[in-house]
Amino acid sequence: MTLVKRNYRNLDNLFDEFFGNFPTTAWGKEAGWSTPPVNVHETNEAYHLELVAPALSKEDFKVNLEKGLLTISYEKKSETENKDYKTHRKEFNVTSFKRSFTVEDNINVEGIQAKYENGVLKLLLPKKEEVKVLPKEITIQ
């Protein structure tokens, strides 16, 4: 008796084969992240937070600071329907994430600034005046 392995291809496998070689997003689950990566830097005057999120719309970001918790979230729903064709597979309806960071009391809340440019959301969290450490020259005696 000879065993013959049959390779049955269903519609899902066909789509996987066709779309399997397309590049993935920089921060999607395919890349090993469920949220976009963040860099946080500190200077004497402020904290600088950079969140990499390319090809997103700045209007869909929400930044909130409440009770010492800074939360950055994003949600965009794509509501596309086309009566000219039948969709067999749809994997991207909603793009969303949420990142939260504990913020110390030394932040000047009124001075927080945010801008989104070149795919990076940049937050400036200035320190309160009494907390800033200014360089001081020490005289050696």
**Domain harbouring 57, CATH code:** 2.60.40.790
- Is residue 72 included in any domain, yes or no? yes
- Is residue 113 included in any domain, yes or no? yes
- Is residue 73 included in any domain, yes or no? yes
How many structural domains is the chain composed of? 1
- Is residue 86 included in any domain, yes or no? no
Q: For 118, what's the count of Cα atoms within 13 Å in the CB-facing half-sphere?
A: 2
- Is residue 15 included in any domain, yes or no? no
* Among 113, 136, 110, 131, CA closest to 45: 131
User: Between the CA of residue 46 and those of 52, 102, 105, what are the distances in Å?
Assistant: 20, 15, 13
The tens digit of pLDDT for each residue in 10-67 reads: 544 544 444 444 444 445 554 444 678 999 999 999 999 999 988 888 899 999 998 8
- Is residue 23 included in any domain, yes or no? no
User: Between the CA of residue 47 and those of 51, 88, 133, 136, what are the distances in Å?
Assistant: 13, 47, 13, 21
- Is residue 25 included in any domain, yes or no? no
- Tell me, what's the pLDDT at 92? 67
Q: What is the pTM of this model?
A: 0.63
Q: b or e along 100-114 (b: 16 or more beta carbons within 10 Å of the residue's beta carbon)?
A: ebebeeebeeeebee
Alpha helices per DSSP H over 1-141: 11-19
The tens digit of pLDDT for each residue in 79-131 reads: 666 778 887 777 766 778 899 999 888 899 899 999 999 999 999 999 998 76
- Is residue 19 included in any domain, yes or no? no
Domain that holds residue 122: 30-78+93-131
User: Between the CA of residue 61 and those of 8, 20, 40, 93, what are the distances in Å?
Assistant: 44, 30, 18, 17
